[in-house]
């Protein structure tokens, strides 16, 4: 009978190595430099909430306090809307000049006396205040000692960061409170700056505008935000045509629309500022205005800036005023129709006319080659080659 050789006992360290190898046999190995981090689901924390309810019997009524009558009011958010190149920046600077000077300063058409105050501009990083805003404010006659500009948030070790969010709005309010008070107006060059994050989200846009409303109430100031209109906004309600969520048009208490006057240049006022949203007890109406070059001189030299020259006052509701402007506008004929009139005048009684001569005369009167070709088809103008001339031009003539 064969004697069995007894296997010696494994040392403890060897048993540990073998056990570790058996456990890791079916596991995926990672490079040494890769660190695997196990994600642990965070336990949601619901902070305690407090409901604030106030009895109406203890609440005192407050009358609206105008910063600029029928345009800006304390503790209210107003908006200035319009398409591109509709002098919205000029309107901002005219309002700022009136607020800093107070009284009946002529930078604004309503000459009701008002109290002066400080103005804070919140502009985008793409706008340099030194180039346009400062010369415009000086030319408008603003008190520059009462003008402030928000240039960004300073983060430790990173310098000034041009960020815009709800935290920035809160920090702006704290600065205004520490700056000795006296503020009457805060101008946001773009409403998206005050909202932060995804401005196309209606809920976030509402929360951002709600923060502005709280800021206006807590600091007792008026807030003016600017917003563009959608490209396809002609013939629609201006409030519904504001770019982005509809809350940008419905949330502000007062809304003014800057439009191009369709009667210009027959009318000296190139633009019209229309009050499209206001209190039922306050008058609406509109003001016509144009842009002129103003000048101002100070210790830094001579500066020139464009300013507003106010014109005609329009009375009535905004819908009636806008419809009246459209009805009074001169009827504009289309380019092919104007080109057709030119062709009849050019070809009548002249027989066959060379095409290069027609195009040259048409260009002098503002008719493009494409418009003249379309007009030729409309009038059924005949064409032929100049006879007896090699490589001669084409000739156009009216049909018999």
Domains and CATH numbers, the chain: 66-254 (3.40.50.300), 335-397 (1.10.10)
Q: How far apart are CA 90 and CA 306, in angstroms?
A: 8
Q: How far apart are CA 129 and CA 216, in angstroms?
A: 24
Average pLDDT of every residue of the chain: 78
**So what's the pLDDT on residue 27?**
55
Region 345-372 average pLDDT: 86
* Helical H segments across the chain, by residue range: 12-23, 88-101, 133-140, 166-178, 191-195, 202-219, 247-250, 318-328, 335-347, 355-364, 369-379
Nearest to 74 by CA among 183, 173, 216: 216
Instruction: Among 114-118, 155-159, 240-244, 259-263, name the one with the lowest average pLDDT.
Output: 155-159
Q: How far apart are CA 213 and CA 251, in angstroms?
A: 10
Q: Which residue has the higher pLDDT, 346 or 400?
A: 346
Asked whether the beta carbons of 65 and 117 are under 8 A apart, the reply is no
Is 80 exceeded by the pLDDT of residue 295? Answer: no
- Largest Cα separation within the chain, whole Å, is 138
Q: Is the dihedral of CA 9, 12, 13, 19 positive or negative?
A: positive
Per-residue pLDDT tens over the stretch 80-104: 888 888 888 889 999 999 999 988 8
Instruction: Determine the distance from the C-alpha atom of residue 315 to the mean position of all C-alpha atoms in its chain, rounded to a whole number.
Output: 27
Q: Which residue has the higher pLDDT, 238 or 17?
A: 238
Region 105-116 average pLDDT: 86
Is 80 exceeded by the pLDDT of residue 279? Answer: no
Per-residue pLDDT tens over the stretch 157-175: 666 665 555 566 777 878 8
| Residue 62 preceded by cis peptide, ω within 30 | no
Is 80 exceeded by the pLDDT of residue 44? Answer: no
Task: Provide CB contacts within 8 A for 165, sequence distance 6+.
Answer: 196, 197
């Amino acid at each position: 009978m064969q004697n069995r050789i007894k296997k010696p006992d494994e040392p403890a360290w060897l048993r540990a190595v073998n056990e570790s190898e058996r456990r890791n046999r079916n596991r995926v190995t990672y490079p040494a430099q890769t660190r695997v981090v196990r994600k642990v689901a965070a336990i949601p924390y619901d902070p305690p909430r407090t409901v604030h309810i106030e009895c109406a019997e203890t609440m005192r009524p407050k009358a609206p306090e105008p910063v600029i009558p029928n345009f800006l009011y304390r503790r209210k958010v107003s908006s200035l809307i319009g398409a591109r190149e509709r002098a919205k920046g000029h309107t901002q600077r005219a309002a700022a000049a009136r607020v800093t000077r107070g009284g009946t300063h002529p930078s604004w058409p309503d000459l009701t006396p008002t109290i002066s105050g400080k103005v804070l501009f919140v502009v985008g990083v793409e706008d340099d205040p030194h180039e346009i805003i400062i010369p415009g404010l000086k030319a408008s006659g603003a008190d520059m000692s009462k003008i402030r500009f928000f240039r960004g948030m300073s983060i430790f070790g990173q310098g000034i960061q041009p960020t815009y969010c709800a935290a920035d709005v809160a920090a702006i309010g704290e600065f205004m409170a520490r700056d000795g008070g006296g503020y009457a107006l805060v101008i946001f060059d773009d409403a998206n700056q005050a909202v932060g994050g995804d401005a196309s989200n209606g809920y976030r846009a509402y929360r951002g505008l709600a923060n502005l409303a709280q800021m206006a109430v807590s600091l007792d100031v008026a807030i003016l935000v600017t917003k563009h209109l959608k490209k396809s906004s002609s013939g629609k309600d201006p409030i519904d045509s504001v770019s982005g969520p509809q809350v940008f048009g419905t949330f502000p208490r007062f809304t003014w629309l800057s439009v191009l006057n369709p009667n210009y240049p027959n009318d000296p006022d190139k633009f019209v500022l229309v009050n499209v949203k206001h209190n039922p007890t306050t008058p609406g109406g509109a003001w016509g205005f144009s842009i002129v070059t103003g000048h101002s001189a100070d210790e830094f030299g001579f500066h020139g800036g464009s300013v507003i020259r106010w014109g005609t006052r329009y009375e009535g509701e905004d819908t009636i005023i806008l419809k009246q402007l459209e009805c009074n506008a001169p009827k504009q004929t289309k380019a092919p129709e104007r080109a057709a009139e030119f062709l009849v005048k050019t070809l009548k009684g002249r027989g066959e006319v060379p095409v290069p001569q027609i195009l040259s005369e048409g260009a002098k009167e503002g008719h493009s080659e494409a418009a003249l070709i379309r007009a030729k088809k409309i009038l059924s103008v005949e064409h032929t080659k100049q006879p007896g001339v090699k490589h001669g031009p084409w000739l156009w003539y009216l049909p018999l």
